[in-house]
Structure 1
Amino acid sequence: MSEVIVHEYGVGDVVAQAEYTLTRDSLVRYAGASGDFNAIHYRDDIAAEVGLPGVLAHGMLTMGLSIQPVVDWLGDPTLVGAYQVRFTRPVVVDPVDGVHLTVVAKIGQLDDEAGTARIDLTTTVDGETVLGKAQVRVTLP
């Protein structure tokens, strides 16, 4: 006889969280992997020329890191469905200290009948939210 494990979730439950540190080296590695070599991601002078407060982390890198705790929690990336974010604040990467991202994933909505949930992600830097309306639909494990 096999044991059935039932997980009970509620709206507002934190299901995953993580912290990440990005350095300028992280940005160079990501640029190589993604092919995005826009100079605002590695040159202070170019970032300043276009009016930015400093070198910025790639938006897709920030977006990818934000979903990773949910993927880790689910244990199966095929359970991840539609994912959306709005980029609301630039993520400036200090040349010495880098930048620290904090991600908290909470259940925002449940559909018990379908076994799915909307997970709301809050990604912050120094207490400031950097992504707006960051949400992902998942099939619950």
Structure 2
Amino acid sequence: MTAKVNYDDVEVGTEIPAQTYPVSRLNLVMYAGASGDFNPIHWNERFAKSVGLPDVIAHGMFTMAEAGRYVTDWLGDPGAVIDYGVRFSSPIVVSDEEGATLVVSGKVEEKLDDNRVVVALTARSAGQKVLTRARATVRLA
């Protein structure tokens, strides 16, 4: 499969429309099962608060995966991602009643040879950046 986005159709500064992803406690339990990370800070409110957290927090890798999904949804082809990395800056706090939201946006930061571009990502929850230095290098059609 080839990326649906064409190299000639993007320029440095091209913005990718933001997407909002809901985050619930159920998402975290499902992710724990898939990843094997059953740390109670990700599902047990009493434990999370006992170690100084405001509430249950999403797994950092869950947050990274959701931002990666944003890129692959834009591309239409997960195989077009060549390199992807982030730094975790703040956790997503997931209340039992309201859950949380993750808003991811992106901008083409650099055009490279061989139909590759670097996309800078912004990921926020509750008004705070939850990922920094989030970049994906992708190969476009």
Q: How high is the TM-score relative to the length of structure 2?
A: 0.90
Q: Say which is worse superposed, 12-21 or 32-41, in terms of deviation.
A: 12-21
Q: Distance in 2 between matches of 1:29 and 1:133?
A: 27
Question: Shift of the alpha carbon at 1:94?
Answer: 0.9
One-letter amino acid of the structure 1 residue matched with residue 114 of structure 2: A
2:130 corresponding residue in structure 1: 130
- Between structure 1 and structure 2, the one with the greater Rg is 1
CA contact (8 A) 2:7 2:140 kept: no
Runs of 4+ in 1 over 4 A off after TM superposition: none
For 1:93, give the aligned amino acid.
V
Match of 1:23 in 2: 24
Number of the residue aligned with 1:100: 101
Offset, 1:72: 1.3
3-state DSSP of counterpart to 1:7: helix
Gaps (5+ residues) in structure 2?
1-5
Query: How large is the RMSD of aligned CA atoms in angstroms?
Result: 1.4
Instruction: Using the TM superposition, give the Cα deviation of residue 46 of structure 1 relative to its aligned residue in structure 2, in angstroms.
Output: 1.1
* Runs (5+) with no aligned partner, structure 1: none
Q: Percent identity?
A: 41
State the TM-score, normalizing by the size of structure 1. Answer: 0.90
8 A contact 1:16–1:69 mirrored in 2:
no
- Kept after mapping to 2: 8 A contact 1:15/1:70: no
* Count of residue correspondences: 136
Aligned match of 2:140: 140
Alignment correspondent of 2:15: 14
Which structure has the higher relative contact order (CA within 8 Å, separation 6+)?
Answer: 2
The equivalent residue for 1:34 is 35
Contact 1:19/1:101 (CA < 8 Å) preserved in 2? Answer: yes
Match of 1:118 in 2: 118
